[in-house]
Amino acid sequence: MHSAPLRSGLHVIFGAGPVGLALAEELVTNGQPVRLVTRSGRGVSLAGVERVAADASDQAQAASAAAGAQVVYHAVGADYGHWAELLPPIMTGLIYAASSTGARLVYADNLYAYGPVDGPLTEDLPVGAKGPNGRLRAELANTLLDAHRSGKLQATIGRASDFFGPGVRLSTVGERVFGAVVRHKSAQVLGDPDQPHTYTFVGDFARALVVLGERDEAQGGVWHVPSAPTITTRQFVEVIVAQVGYQVGIQRTPGWIVRALGVVNPTLRAVAEQLYQSEHSFVVDHSKFAGTFDLAPIPHAESIRRTLDWYRLLSARS
């Protein structure tokens, strides 16, 4: 394993959600020029970051926004209940954008494509998703890897488990856990809190995506990004509680409620599709990444401290 300097030149990030912002922060810290692309072009001003407005699903707009890039990062999010309409044209637009400027494309992906799995998740597992969102994620990944294999561009995929960290509010351990605990309320969790579950710090996700964009051996592959050692969700909450210094409980949301409400609510229907991840053991193996690249995850105690600091600041402002 060895470290290498970042590819010189412009790094263009599509999407300014928590992953996109963490990517921008990581790249700027490393002295790289960064362009952050969103539909509106608006948002909090970040030192060293150029903001540009473009629709990633519009090939011409996406290519114009990516002009001059050495690396393009796909960190675009979309409404959870409408992925099927929104995500395919975004992938097509960003493949075109990266190929037209000669940039590498790094895709920030999740683990939905595998579906329910007995045992740790590894990159060589077949597609096993039973629901529409999981199958869609598999199709998007295949579209990108097919483009790489055809020689259209160089591309790589980094997959993270449920992530948390500064700016992360919609995760299963976002507002309903960190936000609740900061307000002295019970942490609200899905599924069985005593099952092992891998959680990824958003800062680790960002650092890993930067490495994947840099390294030649990452191209054309799928990589599980490093995460701190897997613990149960209850243990994860206990680390949070130990740091805040006061006791809060754990409130479990039964899966049947989510499934029932999902009949009429597209967002909850999408949540219900992934309930297997929280109802059973969900352990992600990142040994492929660890054996190739020199990047260790931040321990839970430190990443949780950083996340609590952000939520405390958010609470103080509200």
Domain shared by 186 and 149, yes or no? no
CA 57 to centroid of chain Cα atoms: 19
- Give me the mean pLDDT over the 166-173 stretch: 94
pLDDT at site 262: 83
Alpha-carbon torsion, ordered 230, 234, 240, 241, to 10 deg: -150
My answer on whether 217 and 236 are in the same domain is no
Q: Are residues 43 and 71 in the same domain?
A: yes
Q: How confident is the model at residue 1 (pLDDT cuts 50, 70, 90)?
A: very low
* pLDDT greater at residue 157 or residue 273: 157
| Helix 300-317 and helix 202-214, axial crossing angle in degrees, nearest 10 | 120
Query: Has residue 3 been placed in a domain?
Result: no
Which amino acid does the sequence have at 118? D
pLDDT band for 182, please (50, 70, 90 cuts).
very high
Q: How far apart are the first and last CA of the chain?
A: 45
Contact (Cβ atoms closer than 8 angstroms) between residue 79 and residue 86: yes
> In this predicted model, what pLDDT tens digit does every residue of 263-315 receive, in sequence order?
888 888 888 889 999 999 999 999 999 999 999 999 999 999 999 999 999 98
Residue 120, pLDDT above cutoff 50:
yes
Quick one: 213 and 73 in the same domain?
yes
* Band (245; pLDDT cuts 50, 70, 90): very high
Question: Is 236 contained in some domain?
Answer: yes
Q: Are residues 189 and 202 in the same domain?
A: no
* Beta-ladder partners of 10: 69
How many domains does the chain fold into?
2
With respect to residue 239, please indicate whether it lies within any of the assigned structural domains. Answer: yes
Q: Using N-to-C axis directions, what is the helix angle for 132-149 and 83-101, rounded to 10°?
A: 10
Based on the fold, state whether residues 128 and 240 are members of the same structural domain.
no
- Say yes or no: 293 and 147 in one domain: yes
Question: Residue 205's pLDDT is what?
Answer: 98
108 has a pLDDT exceeding 50: yes
Rounded CA separation 164/304 (Å): 8
Please check whether residues 148 and 62 belong to one and the same domain: yes
Nearest Cα neighbor of 20 from 236, 205, 280 is 205
* Residues 222 and 267 reside in one and the same domain: no
| pLDDT the model gives residue 256 | 85
Residue 42, domain CATH: 3.40.50.720
Alpha-carbon distance of 259 to 112, in angstroms, equals 17
* Residue percentage of the chain with pLDDT more than 90: 85
Whether residue 79 has pLDDT greater than 90: no
Q: For the chain, what is the mean pLDDT?
A: 94
Whether 3 has a pLDDT exceeding 60, the answer reads: no
Work out the number of other CB atoms within 10 angstroms of the CB of residue 122.
15
> What's the pLDDT score for residue 7?
52
> 82 pLDDT exceeds 90?
no
In a domain, 49, yes or no: yes
Between 7-11, 15-19, 39-43, 259-263, the lowest mean confidence (pLDDT) is in 7-11
Specify the higher pLDDT residue, 86 or 43: 86
> Is there a single domain that holds both residue 69 and residue 126?
yes
User: What is the domain extent for residue 288?
Assistant: 10-166+198-230+283-298
Mean local confidence (pLDDT), 22-38: 96
Residue 62 lies in a domain: yes
Residue 267 lies in a domain: yes
- Whether residue 88 is found in the same domain as residue 157: yes
Which of 20, 75, 67 is closest to 46 using CA atoms?
20
Answer whether residue 79 is part of any domain.
Answer: yes
Q: Is the pLDDT at 6 greater than 70, yes or no?
A: no
The answer to the question of residue 109 being in a domain is yes
Q: Where are the alpha helices (DSSP H) in 14-151?
A: 18-29, 59-66, 83-101, 132-149
Residues 159 and 183 in one domain: no
Q: Which range has the worst mean pLDDT, 3-12, 41-50, 306-315?
A: 3-12
Mean pLDDT across the stretch 179-192? 96
